[in-house]
Structure 1
């Protein structure tokens, strides 16, 4: 099987794993903003809206309140993780633009179709991404677009997304965008977070994320 079909990059999982090792960077005051990326403010309200999407999807995916509370407990750092994901999305987009890389809808659907086939259908894939990576179903295509973009960026750089060269490109994009995160959500250092963290960023789609069993 072609390498691009075998490998899926799970950005959300990278952020969950990397967040504890992120170190101080930026630190300017931006009232009302969860983060500032380039000229774009990610407001606290926008962040909360994304978190609420995940919580609603988690609630809809389980049968009762106790199972929902278990899901909430498993994702206790959802606000921080979601913000770091939103920042990385923008940083990756910038790095891809700098390298002349784009991802089109056909490529996204090709990846999605392959993952759905491996996972056992659309619902199974959506559930797996929700449970393991905190991606709400309505955001799945956006997430997969980033996976395609990351793969193509790595290929353009003649490297692998687990290698320092890939994260150097993201670090350069971070500096270009002057990323600044509200301290209440941690801090941003894509180079240290990406390279130092042990993450399931690279995984073979022949073994898709398993849907967690509920009691």
Structure 2
């Protein structure tokens, strides 16, 4: 992993392949990943943290394809998906491996700043990196090696496996298209407010 852009591969992969929005959600949920629930309050906190960090670091170049609430939600979703897939396949990343990777990338602060531009708040950076490293191990496991042909085989198998970790989004964050990601809309450019239970139950309608 030589370039910072590879740090952001998880969201790119997941947005184009496996995410859906189809079934009712629990009240207050922003998304459900497998059996894990991401709450609207968690997303709001991530947005506030990211905004504050960006103000402290005005030179960070933002690379957001979607609104900030949508982006931080997507990053949480992707992190949970890969960690869950790793658990299902006996693949994990140790703290030592994570620390070594961070050091290789220039240290914790540098990694956090790189990820900040893609909507990952500093408090979530280690979890996101752990998911990235889990993805790399899964690619090698599914493909039977680390050469280019093996990684391509791993990518194909990964797509099928990720599809088994179902994701459901609350419609409050916008319509989600598996090929395009979130459909753009000004309505979703602000931090979402806590929705009443009746709204949360309308997912997929």
Q: What is the TM-score normalised by the length of structure 1? A: 0.65
Task: Provide the C-alpha distance between the structure 1 equivalents of 2:27 and 2:92, rounded to a whole number of angstroms.
Answer: 33
- 1:16, distance to aligned residue in structure 2 (A): 6.1
- The equivalent of 2:113 in structure 1 is 127
Structure with more of its chain in helix, by fraction: 1
Do the aligned partners of residues 135 and 80 (structure 1) sit closer, same or farther apart at CA in structure 2, a change above 3 Å counting?
same
Q: What is the TM-score normalised by the length of structure 2? A: 0.68
Aligned residues between the structures: 174
SS of residue paired to 1:42: strand
Query: What residue ranges of structure 1 are gaps of 5+ in the alignment?
Result: 195-215
Q: Is the 8 A contact 1:12 1:134 kept in 2?
A: no
1:136-193 per-residue CA deviation (whole Å, 9 max, x = no partner) reads 233222221111111111111014378332221111222xxxx211012246677x57
Do the aligned partners of residues 15 and 187 (structure 1) sit closer, same or farther apart at CA in structure 2, a change above 3 Å counting?
farther
- 1:128, distance to aligned residue in structure 2 (A): 2.3
The reply to whether residue 148 of structure 1 matches residue 140 of structure 2 is no
- 1:103, distance to aligned residue in structure 2 (A): 0.5
- The equivalent of 1:51 in structure 2 is 47
Cα RMSD of the aligned pairs, angstroms, is 3.5
1:68-98 per-residue CA deviation (whole Å, 9 max, x = no partner) reads 9x96x96761111111221121111121111
- The equivalent of 1:181 in structure 2 is 169
Task: Provide the C-alpha distance between the structure 1 equivalents of 2:3 and 2:81, rounded to a whole number of angstroms.
Answer: 21
The reply to whether residue 163 of structure 1 matches residue 155 of structure 2 is yes
